[in-house]
Amino acid sequence: MDEGEGDTMAVPVATGLTVADIERLPEDGVVRHLIDGELYEMTPPTIRHQQVVARLLVRLAAHAGGDGGVALPAPIGVKLSERDVPEPDVVYVAAAHRDRLGERYVEGPPDLVVEVSSPTTRRLDLVRKRRQYERFGVPEYWFVDLDADRIEVYVLLDGRYGPATIVGSDGIVEASTVGGLAVVVGDIVSD
């Protein structure tokens, strides 16, 4: 599937906002992303999306237990700047960066962010959020493509994400920024 094909593009509901503006919004369970001061509100995810998030979280949390890191599911804001606060589906913060765990946000780039595809956020995840993660130095970004049953892995090299390494359901993703973490893609994306 081409980037954005079959995608109903997420559009911002407000612009020119900061962290202070979103902190004044009600805590109503709506997933919100702040990208360059533009506020995106997302529809509730599908059951399959949440199952994949849960499988990833279990795998990452098990790894975290062995190395002192922390794995967190959405909704958790990642405060990259006053105008950039995405809420990835899953974040991993290595033990060496636990000081980035604030009261309400991960303060700065996590070691790994994961976005799981959905029809309304596919283009946002692959274009705007990927650029945002790259710009703010997130070392590794995984996009779990539920349409193709694969994981696209982006690794930061010299301040830029190189081409994605695409791993199908019969493969294993080995995190380059979280030592010893390996995930069998089929175990994550299976129905």
Question: What is the mean pLDDT of the segment spanning 20-46?
Answer: 83
pTM: 0.85
pLDDT in tens, 133-187: 999 999 999 999 999 999 999 999 999 999 999 999 999 999 988 888 999 999 9
Determine the Cα–Cα distance for residues 35 and 44; give it in Å rounded to an integer.
Answer: 19
pLDDT for residue 104 is more than 50 = yes
List all residues 6 or more positions away from 89 whose beta carbon is below 8 Å from its beta carbon: 49, 53, 56, 73, 74, 114, 115, 116, 144
- 96: which residues sit within 8 A by CB, 6+ positions away? none
Which range has the worst mean pLDDT, 6-15, 28-37, 182-191? 6-15
pLDDT of res. 9: 58
Cis bond before residue 75 (omega within 30° of 0): yes
**pLDDT confidence of residue 38:** 86
Q: Is the pLDDT of residue 8 over 60?
A: no
Name the more confident of 115 and 45.
Answer: 115
Name every residue whose Cβ is closer than 8 Å to that of residue 115 and which is 6 or more positions away in sequence.
Answer: 88, 89, 121, 125, 129, 141, 142, 143, 144
Encode pLDDT of 52-100 as tens digits. Answer: 999 999 999 999 988 899 999 988 899 999 999 999 999 999 999 999 9
